[in-house]
Amino acid sequence: MNRKHIIAGIVVILAAGLGVVALVKSRGAASASSGDEATETLVTVQTGALKLTTMHRYVQGYGMVEPAPATAEQPAAGAQLAAPSAGVVARVNVLEGQHVEKGDLLMALNSGTLTAENAEQEMERQKKLYAEGNTSLKNLQAAVAQLALLSVTAPLSGTVARVNVKPGQAVDLTTVVAELMDLNRLAVTAEIPAAEAYDLKSGNAVEVLTEPPVTTDLAFVSLNVDKNNDTVLVRALLPAGGMLRPGQFVSLRIVTAVHTNSLTAPAESVVTDDSGKSVIALVKDDEATQTPVQTGLRENGWVEIKAPALKAGDAIVTVGAYGLPEKTKIHVQNSSGDEASADTSTNPPDAK
């Protein structure tokens, strides 16, 4: 065998060996690729449960506590008392914070021609003479009117909020000598943006968000929009005996809709898919499936939802719901608190 034949044989053997190695590698890669395709993605999530609850729609606002305005049955709960005539304050019978009854004498004045003391004496004299038949009714009425011009009396029962004068001080018809309030008849008045006031009406429930909260109803909704700030004036009467005080600034919310027995989901479980629709990931066994839902009211971290196939107690993905594929194998890893929320109880969350 010559040298050329030996070299050719060696080349053939090497080529065959390289072909075998390539074939083995190719099969190994294909096997690895096939194994990868067979491995399914497992996503770790947390879950919760759908619940039935009562949901509310609110209009938020801020208001001021003030005396209730006059009604057909009652006078205004607050009054600024002006001097009935020009003169000098003779005496002040009350202190700030003192309770008085309607008709009580708060202070007396002296005029340039008559003192309060003399006016009181003349009225008592005319009363006695009239009872004896020794004077006319006209004279008695004149004495009463003269005394009234020198007397500041309480037009309502309430608390003296302010005394603005002291004995010896000169006053006239424009001087506000005292302020009186009935603290058992207070109201909160608020200005609500006109764009949010379209469904406000008398009787809507109101929550004054103090501690503790105060609940009442709307008593008045203005028909007019204030052109200066584009708001609508509303007023709610406060329960008697509360802790609120005139001039106090409070936040409030007005209930404009109540949906009972609503199917609700935790807010974090409702996400938007690629098409812009709201969906939740419904859990069955170890798989999560995107389910379209129609959303409604939102309150305290819960969202009202509607979907024909859903019911209270259904398990849904909460943490990890965003971006979850259409059908995904999942591994549930709830904390102890989350496990409690993932049960099938239909008790509503606290809506307050």
Question: What mean pLDDT value characterizes the chain?
Answer: 86
Residue pair 262/295 in contact by the 8 Å Cβ criterion: no
User: Could you say which of 138, 166, 181 is where a domain stops?
Assistant: 181
Asked whether the predicted pLDDT for residue 81 surpasses 80, the reply is yes
Residue 322 pLDDT grade (very low, low, confident, very high; cuts 50, 70, 90): confident
The count of structural domains within the chain is 3
- Residue closest to 83 by CA, chosen among 174, 162, 170, 180: 174
Q: Alpha-carbon distance 292 to 273, whole Å?
A: 9
Whether residue 62 is found in the same domain as residue 204: yes
Asked whether the predicted pLDDT for residue 1 surpasses 90, the reply is no
Tell me what pLDDT residue 344 has: 39
Question: Structure tokens of 157?
Answer: 């029962």
Can you give the length of the chain in residues?
A: 352
Domain annotation covers residue 11? no
Whether residue 225 is found in the same domain as residue 284: no
User: Could you say which of 258, 284, 312 is where a domain stops?
Assistant: 258
Residue 106 pLDDT grade (very low, low, confident, very high; cuts 50, 70, 90): very high
Whether residue 62 is found in the same domain as residue 200: yes
Average pLDDT (20-33) is: 48
Residue 60 pLDDT grade (very low, low, confident, very high; cuts 50, 70, 90): very high
Q: Alpha-carbon distance 292 to 276, whole Å?
A: 11
Q: pLDDT higher for 114 or 20?
A: 114
Domain annotation covers residue 48? yes
Whether residue 295 is found in the same domain as residue 246: no
Least confident residue range of 69-73, 76-80, 92-96, 216-220: 69-73
CATH number at residue 234: 2.40.30.170
Tell me what pLDDT residue 126 has: 95
pTM tops 0.85: no
Domain annotation covers residue 150? yes
Whether residue 302 is found in the same domain as residue 239: no
Whether residue 107 is found in the same domain as residue 171: yes
Domain annotation covers residue 114? yes
Q: Is the dihedral of CA 191, 194, 199, 202 positive or negative?
A: positive
CATH number at residue 267: 2.40.420.20
Whether residue 95 is found in the same domain as residue 237: no
Domain annotation covers residue 346? no
Residue 9 pLDDT grade (very low, low, confident, very high; cuts 50, 70, 90): low
Whether residue 87 is found in the same domain as residue 169: yes
Whether residue 90 is found in the same domain as residue 143: yes
Tell me what pLDDT residue 72 has: 86
Residue 231 pLDDT grade (very low, low, confident, very high; cuts 50, 70, 90): very high
Domain annotation covers residue 138? yes
Find the domain containing 277 and state its range: 42-55+259-341
Average pLDDT (24-52) is: 65
Q: Which helix (H) or strand (E) holds 278?
A: strand 278-284
Residue pair 245/65 in contact by the 8 Å Cβ criterion: yes
pLDDT in tens, 124-176: 999 999 999 999 999 999 999 999 999 999 999 999 999 999 999 999 999 99
CATH number at residue 144: 2.40.50.100
- Residue closest to 155 by CA, chosen among 241, 64, 70: 70
Using the structure block, give the residue that is written with the tokens 């020794």: 134
